[in-house]
A and B are shown apart, each in its own frame.
Chain A
């Protein structure tokens, strides 16, 4: 079983749709959680950190459920420019700097 698991998709949605991604992790000692966005043939870029209380940044909402060991990302009012691969990242344990990546969920937003 992988340490961090994501539904690979692809998710194909029309503009304006709401889409949600989930990610589960196996290490209960994990301390830090992030969502990254990666465009084709580019490096991953930080989309948002995920806090226990949940957090929102414009159309994006991230939530953490420690009891069930999953994090989620909700994108509202999808734009064409949201098309990308979304990576779930979990870090912590003995070395807070070491991160484990999910394989990513691919989103395509269509006109």
Chain B
């Protein structure tokens, strides 16, 4: 069974702090993704990566960066956290083949005060 693990379930940070969200998957998936989910806005893609050291911007990359130094690990970085980045952050992974579904971690609920 695929396991996607996010390092924190709940996180509280102050405005201006640098925040790291970590995600690890154990199924050798090529693709990894970061989404945020907000009420009324659904899931929105921030960044994704289809290989080590590769990254692509999603729909809302502003204010975020990512790092993928190893295949199993994909990190989301908030360079200077702001209150509008308070959200549920979901990491996912998948195989590169078509028809391969996403497998999600259990999410990190980030509050920026």
Contacts and interface: CB of A to CB of B under 8 A. Distances in A.
What's the interface size class on A, roughly? 20 to 34
Contact of B101 (A42, A46, A100, A103): A46
A32 B102 contact: no
Given A43-B107, A97-B48, A92 B98 contact: yes
A33 to B, nearest CB: 9
Contacts, number: 61
A32 B97 CA distance: 10
Nearest to B93: A97
B84 interface: no
Nearest to A48: B101
A32 B42 contact: no
A42 B45 CA distance: 17
A32 B96 CA distance: 12
A25 B94 CA distance: 21
A97 B105 contact: no
Interface residues of B, number: 26
Main secondary structure of the interface of B (DSSP, over half): loop
A12 interface: no
B11 interface: no
B94 A45 contact: no
A97 B101 contact: no
Nearest to B42: A103
A97 B107 contact: no
A51 to B, nearest CB: 8
A22 interface: no
Residue from the set B31, B43, B58, B94 with the largest chain A CB neighbour count within 10 Å = B43
Interface of A: 31-32, 34, 42-46, 49, 87, 89, 91-92, 95-104
CB-CB nearest 5 A-B residue pairs = A97-B31, A103-B42, A43-B104, A96-B98, A101-B43
21 contacts: A31-B99, A42-B106, A42-B107, A43-B105, A44-B90, A44-B104, A46-B102, A46-B103, A49-B101, A87-B42, A95-B56, A96-B96, A96-B100, A97-B96, A97-B100, A98-B45, A99-B33, A99-B102, A100-B45, A101-B42, A101-B43
